[in-house]
Structure 1
């Protein structure tokens, strides 16, 4: 559902568009995120960038 705040923000964005530098910054951040997602999807990330899976307990188990 569209909030009236979104309409006001869109109006402000149309009246005062961001600078070319800010546009390139946002575009480069999106490109970096998509590149990381692609590398992770195809399994090409190095081991130091992989997240370690831990169990639900998360700590040491006493036996």
Structure 2
């Protein structure tokens, strides 16, 4: 199932059965955090301390 269809199913479920106030606040906080991280990355570049380093994959038996 493509992401747009999943999003539409999720939103339709939210309209039919709205979440409690607490769950809605948690969802809004998560959305605000995600938007904030995107803005930080776009405006000031991503901090080096939050960048992960690639670990080489060792293959067994090869």
Does 1:20 pair with 2:21? Answer: yes
Unpaired segments of 5 or more residues in structure 1? none
Return the TM-score normalized by structure 2.
0.54
Return the TM-score normalized by structure 1.
0.54
Q: How many residues align?
A: 49
TM-aligned CA deviation for residue 44 of structure 1: 5.1
Unpaired segments of 5 or more residues in structure 2? 58-62
Return the index of the structure with the highest Cα Rg: 1
CA deviation digits over 1:11-53, x for unaligned, max 9? x544431100000000000000000001111125431113558
**2: CA distance between counterparts of 1:25 and 1:35?**
15
**1: CA distance between counterparts of 2:32 and 2:17?**
24
